[in-house]
Amino acid sequence: MKNFLYLALGVAALASTGCKKDDSTQAITPAVSPKIALLVNKRWGLTALTSQQGSVIRDGYATLNTYEKDNYLRFNDDRTAELNEGPSKGSSADPQSYAGTWDLIGNDAKLLLTTPLFGSGAAGTPDILELTANRMVLRGTLIDGNGTSTTFTATLTTL
């Protein structure tokens, strides 16, 4: 599950009693950005993953186990996220899913994703290179404890 990379709009309405509504007190529902509308309420599965360290490029997707390739991310309207193990798991003792949160930041150019597996570091804020109704491409940089930088590119498609 750790190899798998990438994974509150609800407005409370107060009901009032009375004979006539006062239009000046109506709740204003914020507009949903087009990117959010493309992202939410879908299962996103990883279909490609590359990493680059210096001039060396590796196919990270090829190194994933079969049970990791069926994992998926789901982004909900309320800014919660689910990283799900999918139909197969590496160990029956592993949880089926991990909860997290998400948001779009930087004028909707970056995906902020926080789960217990990702934390909130560089891996949790990749750039959104492409986002359509059924394809998302993310790029981010990881820096290990030795200061070595690795850039990853992840392609996810809707399942």
Q: Where are the domains of the chain?
A: 34-158
Question: H helices within 14-151, ranges in order?
Answer: 34-39, 66-69
29-49 pLDDT tens trace = 556 789 999 999 999 999 999
Long-range contacts of 66-73 (CB under 8 A, 24+ apart): 68/1, 68/3, 68/4, 69/45, 70/45, 71/1, 71/4, 71/45, 71/46, 72/43, 72/44, 72/45, 72/46, 72/159, 73/6, 73/7, 73/43, 73/44, 73/113, 73/156
Integer CA distances (angstroms), 85 to 2, 30, 90, 107, 111, in order: 11, 33, 9, 31, 21
Strands 43-53 and 72-75: antiparallel
> Residue 77 above 50 pLDDT?
yes
Helix (H) or strand (E) segment spanning residue 44 = strand 43-53
pLDDT number for residue 26? 59
> Residue 86 above 90 pLDDT?
yes
Q: Which fold is adopted by the domain 34-158?
A: Lipocalin (2.40.128)
119-157 pLDDT tens trace = 444 347 899 999 999 999 999 998 888 989 999 999 999
Written as six digits, the tokens of 148 are 């070595």
> Residue 59 above 60 pLDDT?
yes
144-154 pLDDT tens trace = 889 899 999 99
Give the pLDDT mean for 13-18: 25
Written as six digits, the tokens of 126 are 């990749």
Written as six digits, the tokens of 51 are 């990493």
